Amino acid sequence: MSNIGQSPYEALGGEAVLTKVINTFYGYVSEHPDIAHLFPDDLSETKRKQTQFLTQFLGGPTNYTNEHGHPMLRARHMPFAIGQKQAEAWIACMKKALNTHNISGPIYDYLVERLTMTAFHMVNTTNESN
Ligand code: HEM
């Protein structure tokens, strides 16, 4: 997206829009039968970290690394059994959240492509029943 002179973070609408998307996303996550069980009941800290992470992932300030160090996302997900089904569920929740906030066009396509790659990179089990 650098060819349009702004970061994906800015193209999305910065902190205001990202915060709304993440709130909505975890609402869907907490209701999804394939992944809800993996998350804590209180999602406030999860949301805070995800906001920090996605901010920097999309070219905004490096808030996640400043507080937590290198993301090492795959390693941080190893305690959780993540199969293809969980990656698909995560992406489905994210697409629903983006749609809820009427995010469309190139920024939607960009987000879905990069987040899908990242989600499948987290897969750490071939167990179909997860
Ligand atoms: C593939 C499906 C995924 C599942 C099932 C999953 C699940 C989880 C779970 C259970 C946690 C711990 C929540 C907590 O205890 O607060 C977590 C943390 C996190 N996830 Fe995921 N995740 C997935 C994909 C992703 C993707 C695609 C990203 C980034 C684009 C991501 C970014 C994060 C971050 C930044 C944290 C916080 C790490 C920390 O503790 O500092 N996750 N995830």
**pLDDT attached to residue 1:** 52
- Ligand 1 and 77: CB distance under 6 A: yes
Test site for ligand 1: of 73, 82, 84, 94, most ligand atoms within 8 A of the Cβ:
73
Residue closest via CA to ligand 1's atom 8 equals 77
- Is the domain 9-121 a CATH 1.10.490.10 member? yes
Q: What is the 3-state secondary structure (H, E, C) of 95-111?
A: HHHHHHCCCCCHHHHHH
Instruction: Supply the DSSP symbol for 85.
Output: H
Question: CA-CA distances (angstroms) from residue 8 to 11, 37, 79, 85, 91?
Answer: 5, 31, 30, 27, 18
Give the end-to-end CA distance of the chain in Å, rounded to a whole number. Answer: 35
- Ligand 1 and 82: CB distance under 6 A: yes
Tens place of pLDDT per residue across the chain (130 aa)? 555 589 999 999 999 999 999 999 999 999 999 999 999 999 999 999 999 999 999 999 999 999 999 999 999 999 999 999 999 999 999 999 999 999 999 999 999 999 999 999 999 999 756 6
**pLDDT attached to residue 127:** 77
Nearest atom of ligand 1 to the alpha carbon of 45: 16
Q: How large is the angle between the packed helices 14-29 and 44-57, nearest 10 degrees?
A: 130
Distance in angstroms (rounded) separating the CA atoms of residues 112 and 12 = 12
Nearest atom of ligand 1 to the alpha carbon of 76: 38
